[in-house]
Structure 1
Amino acid sequence: MTITDGTKLKTVRAGFIGGGFMSGVHSRAVRAVLGTPAAVCSSSPASAERAADALGLGAAYHSLDAMLADESIDVVHICTPNTTHVRFAAAALEAGKHVICEKPLATSAEDALFLTDLAGRSGLVAAVPFVYRFHPMIREARARVSTGQLGTVLNVQGEYLQDWLLSSQDDNWRVDEALGGPSRAFADIGSHLCDLIEFVMDDRIMRLSALTRTVFGERTTHKAIRTEDLAAVLFETRGGAVGTLMVSQVAPGRKNRLFLSISGTVESLVFDQEQPETLWIGRRDGSRTLVRDPDALHPSAARLSTLPAGHPEGYQDAFNSFMRDAYTAIGSGAVPEGLPLFADGLRAVHLSEAVQRSARDRSWQQIPA
């Protein structure tokens, strides 16, 4: 992917903050769209050196300031613990860099609003990788809702279930409020689920009531844990649909079940991220399974089908498509339809905070428009 600099074209050069799993996902996507992973900084000089070597992230800078001072870096990817996002994203924007920041954008709505406003004033591209939007069959579902094929949407059911924290012996920095923020399961994966629901339906959650549970107050290295392992949510949208959500990181056998069912007066849809090549379509007179085939899909879905039918596309492919749109926006200044920006990250934080308040106060919570 190239960007225009006067009459010259140059390859987008990316700097990375953090050298863990997500930096690997981001860097593969950058390469897929012909960008250059050019630099990395991390929690220590040694960590930066290891990431540069293991992931091929170019030069290893020993400080963020040094990397941001590199005028050849066009965009900064923030792949660090949640509570660091605000400081790093603000520094990158103030240095004139485009930003792609992992979710949650921030751990408070106040900080997320600060970043959203800063990005708006800067004129730079500032995106959050809600990448499940980029599965072709999700775009097909969105197109069917928008063209009225479902009729009036009546109800929604969503699940995001994992089992990687199933045992008290399973531990991770995310359970630590000082690093992950006050919400864990919902901010981490529930945010993806809510973003997908609102994106597919082109509607917004208006109010909600939630219950949360911390199953393990102690894990191998972390004690007095307060962040939630699971959350259940009842909600109503502005368009009048009623919905339920279940989010859990302690669901045995579920590795990454992101499941969405939408029922209207005419048609129902079901999408399962663990089987992203299909969309179940139900009607009163029968049901069918729509298989990803670019020749048979809505143009918005066919655009994201990078492989012929029968060649499975998955999470990394969706991430690559997100990166293609983000880098297109960097290059052209025009934001492709559906690219999730900092405003979408702010929206997710508003929802996470509403879930926390509702669970604490046993109350219904109104969500800002």
Structure 2
Amino acid sequence: MTTAVTDTGLGTIRAGILGGGFMARVHRTAARDAGGEVRAVATRSVAAGRDAADALGASRAEPDAASLFGATDIDVVHVCTPNATHVDLAARALAAGKHVVCEKPLATTAHDARRLADAAAADGLVAAVPFVYRYHPMIREARARIASGDAGELLTLDCSYLQDWMLLPTDDDWRARSDAGGASRAFADIGSHLCDLIEFVTGEHIHSLSARTRRVFAERGGVAVDTEDIAAVLVETSSGALGTLLVSQMAPGRKNALTLELHGSRQALRFEQERPEELWIGGREGSTVLLRDPATASPDSARLQRVPAGHPMGYQDAFNAFIADVYAAIGGARPEGLPTFEDGWRAAVLTEAVLASAADDGRWTEIPE
């Protein structure tokens, strides 16, 4: 079971949400599941804020972000706004003494992400980024098996994150343009999740990479596009393992196909986010599919399993577990595997390396540890 907020000794964690879209709804649901209370919402306008407060079931709408930051009855701010606004809003929330959960990418540059991570550390505030796929129990099971040595030495990786929501030239979104979404779209948006999982599960850093990117349409919805649709990346980890990563938002039929396949010298492990109850374990003499079961899981996996085996858990469950860990950390706990602003900075470093390599015809680029 995840740690409940009421166990922290602080009582109810009081949340404020910036934004009113899909991710705001996910954050709201997770905050309530963790025992928190959504006190206030602020969006781009007063009218939109009132609508969002009603939709999210918040106690009130604040007229703007400054009012939300100044509220004395808010402990944590959830930043669920377009990418280009994250740095300013997260920095102001931290300066106001609030704990922060900021959607990824944490920042559109590694420099800005570093500033935020340093600010949170200096003020002793909890600052987290929703790399929530870490919270699928079978991801924790894969991590435990690698850490125990069951898989052996890591040899190769075959990983991908595929979607199709930008397949057509008429498909458009604010993320397609760098002024709102940042210089990278596909990699920063979903490739960051993939790389975070690779490093989290294997315990190794991506040491170097070679990347190519592709922008399929010059325009979407009649407006020029300046971000990539696809990224193909070769990677080498700190132990020398080699791997391929394919990231695309133009893969027909793939809705949210995040796949991690890791080949060790004794076992291979494969996790598919669209089949989160399973972990494929490959061996020379035969392969098996391990189904989620708290009775037989590793301790770190079992603590996230809130329902018995055979009762499917999914994305919202993973998000709920993430927020429960954030709120427990606010109460002084040290949850295992909580993704922080440091991890957000790491994702920004990798994103910049991918763009730099692609701009230099796939040049191998070393990543700082």
* TM-score normalised by L of structure 1: 0.97
Q: Does 1:160 align with 2:165?
A: no
The residue identity in structure 2 corresponding to 1:115 is: L
Paired residue secondary structure (2:105): coil
What's the offset of the Cα at 1:335?
Answer: 2.3
- Equivalent position amino acid for 1:13 in 2: R
Residues 210-232 of structure 1, C-alpha deviations (whole Å, 9 max, x = no match): 00000111011522x11000000
- Residue 235 of structure 2: aligned partner: 235
Q: Give the 3 Å change call, closer, same or farther, for CA 77–28 of structure 1 in structure 2.
A: same
Corresponding residue number in structure 2 for 1:182: 183
Aligned partner of 1:251 in structure 2 is: 251
In structure 1, list runs of 5 or more residues that go unmatched.
none
Tell me the SS of whatever aligns to 2:263.
Answer: strand
User: 1:3–1:12: 8 Å Cα contact kept in structure 2?
Assistant: no
Verify the 8 A CA contact 2:30 2:319 in the aligned structure 1. Answer: yes
Instruction: Please tell me whether the aligned partners of residues 171 and 222 of structure 1 are also in contact (alpha carbons under 8 angstroms).
Output: no
Q: How far off is 1:10 after superposition?
A: 2.6
Match of 2:20 in 1: 19
Deviates more, 1:52-61 or 1:254-263: 52-61
- The residue that corresponds to 2:324 in the other structure is 324
SS in 1 for 2:220: coil
The CA deviation string for residues 311-348 of structure 1, in whole angstroms up to 9 with x for no partner, is: 0000000000001111000012x321100000000000
Give 1:116's aligned amino acid: A
Q: After the TM superposition, list the runs of 4 or more consecutive aligned residues in structure 1 that deviate by more than 6 angstroms.
A: none
Matching residue of 2:65: 64
1:97-122: per-residue Cα shift (whole Å, max 9, x none)?
00000000000011001101101101
Distance 1:271 1:9 in 2: 37
User: What value does the CA root-mean-square deviation take over the aligned residues?
Assistant: 1.0
Q: Does 1:37 align with 2:38?
A: yes
Amino acid at match of 2:152: G
1:176 touches 1:222 (CA, 8 Å); kept in 2?
A: no
Range with bigger deviation, 52-61 or 139-148? 52-61
Structure-2 separation of matches of 1:73 and 1:24: 18
Deviates more, 1:213-222 or 1:199-208: 213-222
Residue identity over aligned pairs, in percent, reads: 58
What's the counterpart of residue 198 of structure 1?
A: 199
The Cα of 1:58 is off from its aligned counterpart by: 2.3
Alpha-carbon contact 1:156-1:263 (below 8 Å) kept? yes
CA distance in 1, matches of 2:11, 2:305: 27
Please state whether the residue corresponding to 2:270 is helix, strand or coil.
strand
Q: Match of 1:172?
A: 173
Q: Which runs of 5+ in 2 are unaligned?
A: none
The residue number in structure 2 matching 1:274 is 274
Distance in structure 1 (CA, Å) of the matches to 2:307 and 2:105:
30
